[in-house]
């Protein structure tokens, strides 16, 4: 009896990883993304700003699905010729989002700190403005354990007969409706700015920023630990040989803190000689180690997070400060800060910057920034796999003539070699499989 074997298919030998990139914008607008977070539904929320023509900046919020496809976009415009920015956005326990940034009306002299609550569909629930005595700006926001919010930022004002500029680290605690409960300032004798704030396991907060003493040519990384009432428990500064800047902080599994920012390799601020900076401290803010990453020009870190394997992921920018030749920069380190891998992303082939990054629930990473195209700036969202690749391959063993058949099953996985005219799957010792029909 003759048998006719029909091979229906060979299972694929190459699989694709979970990576992609998306751009959001139009030909006449300038859109920039400053903050990204994975949402409870597996998608992403992006906060930033949008400009159309010369009407000033507006708060921009984009919600996407897990593949970066836009679900909705909201633009919030202030009164009149105002400029409004979103520097940080976080999902809240009710499924909505909290936004902080700044607002400025052209007829006034100073910006005010902006706090806005929106629902899960991006509809505004309430807005609060804080300020009036100078320039106030919110750079980081978190929902607190009591349902309120904690904001870190800066208050900029002028002092003395010569009206010299000065600034303080500004911390504001609000209730669930954004009503102010208390305000604290730090670094009042220096020029200081607050960047990132995080909740700590003891119910307090950790704040990172920069500070500079009058007459001192250097900037210093400024780390402040406060309790739940905003009272300082301790503070630390890092630096001294050149200027060093702190931009993001995260509490680590051992109770210490990880900080990223950048340090100058020369004394000349703005000459393109910055290196990405990573500092690990103990629970009291004492430095345990530090690492520097970068090339010959401009490399800065804007966000850092501890990863599930105990290491750290840093998102920032690498390139040159002039000539529109920057790339988004992602570095993964071990728990000792030693680099494991790094990648750059050049979305538009021109000027691209990364501001916010975090690990995703599938073990990959999400990055947000902007890409400078021929039409202006577009929000740039990048999803990578666990190695920082936007595309990845998995190579399975290639079948060879020496492979041996281990067993034959039906499509339900049951071993069966006698039934004819039904699909059978042959499994070989090299991991390859073939699906066949034996016609008799």
Q: What kind and span of H or E run contains 62?
A: strand 57-64
Lowest mean pLDDT among 98-107, 315-324, 411-420: 411-420
3-state secondary structure of 440: coil
Over range 175-191, report the average pLDDT: 92
Instruction: Dig out the tokens for 422 from the structure.
Output: 């039904």
Nearest CA-CA partner of 16 in 393, 397, 395: 393
Report the mean per-residue pLDDT for the chain: 85
Q: What kind and span of H or E run contains 169?
A: strand 164-174
How far apart, in whole angstroms, are the C-alpha atoms of residue 256 and residue 282? 4
Instruction: Flag whether pLDDT at 11 surpasses 60.
Output: no
Beta bridge partners of 149: 143, 174
Beta bridge partners of 354: 369
Lowest mean pLDDT among 62-71, 163-172, 206-215: 163-172
Q: When comparing pLDDT for 396 and 389, which is higher? A: 389
Q: When comparing pLDDT for 150 and 422, which is higher? A: 150
What is the pLDDT confidence band of residue 218, given thresholds at 50, 70 and 90? Answer: confident
How far apart, in whole angstroms, are the C-alpha atoms of residue 252 and residue 203? 15
Domains and CATH numbers, the chain: 4-12+396-439 (no CATH), 18-391 (2.130.10.10)
How far apart, in whole angstroms, are the C-alpha atoms of residue 68 and residue 91? 17
Q: How many CB atoms lie within 10 A of CB 9?
A: 9
Is the overall model pTM greater than 0.75, yes or no? yes
- Measured in residues, the chain has a length of 440
Residue percentage of the chain with pLDDT more than 90: 62
* pLDDT tens sequence across 283-307: 999 999 999 998 767 899 999 999 9
């Amino acid at each position: 009896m003759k048998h006719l074997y029909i091979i229906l298919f060979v299972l694929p030998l190459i699989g694709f990883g979970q990576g992609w990139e998306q751009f959001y914008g139009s030909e006449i607008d300038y859109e920039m993304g400053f903050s990204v977070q994975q949402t409870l539904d597996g998608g992403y929320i992006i906060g930033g700003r949008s400009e159309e023509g010369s009407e000033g900046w507006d708060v921009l919020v984009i919600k996407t699905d897990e593949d970066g496809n836009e679900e909705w976009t909201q633009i919030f415009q202030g009164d009149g010729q105002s400029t409004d920015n979103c520097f940080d956005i976080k999902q809240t326990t009710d499924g909505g989002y909290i936004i902080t940034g700044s607002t400025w009306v052209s007829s006034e002299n100073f910006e005010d700190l902006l706090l806005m609550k929106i629902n899960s569909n991006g509809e505004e629930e309430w807005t609060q403005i804080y300020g009036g005595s100078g320039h106030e700006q919110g750079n980081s926001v978190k929902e607190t354990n009591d349902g309120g919010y904690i904001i870190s930022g800066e208050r900029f004002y002028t002092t003395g007969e010569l009206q010299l500029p000065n600034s303080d680290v500004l911390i504001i605690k609000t209730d669930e409706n954004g009503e102010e409960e208390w305000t604290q300032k730090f670094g009042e004798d220096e020029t200081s700015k607050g960047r990132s704030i995080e909740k700590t396991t003891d119910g307090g907060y950790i704040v990172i920023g920069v500070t500079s003493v009058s007459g001192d040519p250097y900037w210093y990384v400024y780390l402040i630990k406060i309790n739940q009432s905003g009272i300082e428990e301790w503070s630390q500064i890092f630096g001294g040989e050149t200027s060093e800047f702190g931009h993001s902080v995260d509490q680590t599994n051992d109770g210490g803190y990880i900080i990223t920012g950048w340090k100058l390799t020369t004394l000349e601020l703005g000459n393109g000689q910055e290196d990405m900076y990573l500092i690990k401290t103990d629970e009291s803010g004492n430095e345990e180690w530090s690492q520097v990453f970068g090339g010959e020009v401009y490399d800065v870190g804007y966000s850092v997070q501890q990863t599930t394997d105990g290491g750290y992921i840093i998102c920032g920018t690498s390139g040159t400060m002039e000539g529109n030749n920057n790339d988004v920069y992602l570095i993964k380190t071990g728990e000792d800060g030693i680099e494991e891998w790094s990648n750059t992303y050049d979305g538009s082939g021109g000027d691209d910057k990364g501001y916010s990054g975090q690990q995703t629930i599938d073990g990959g990473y999400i990055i947000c920034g902007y890409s400078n195209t021929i039409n202006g700036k577009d929000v740039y969202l990048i999803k990578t796999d666990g190695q920082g690749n936007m595309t990845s391959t998995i190579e399975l063993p290639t079948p060879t003539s020496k492979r041996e058949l281990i067993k034959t099953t039906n499509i339900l996985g049951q071993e069966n070699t006698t039934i004819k005219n039904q699909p059978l799957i042959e499994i070989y010792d090299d991991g390859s499989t073939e699906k066949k029909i034996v016609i008799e």
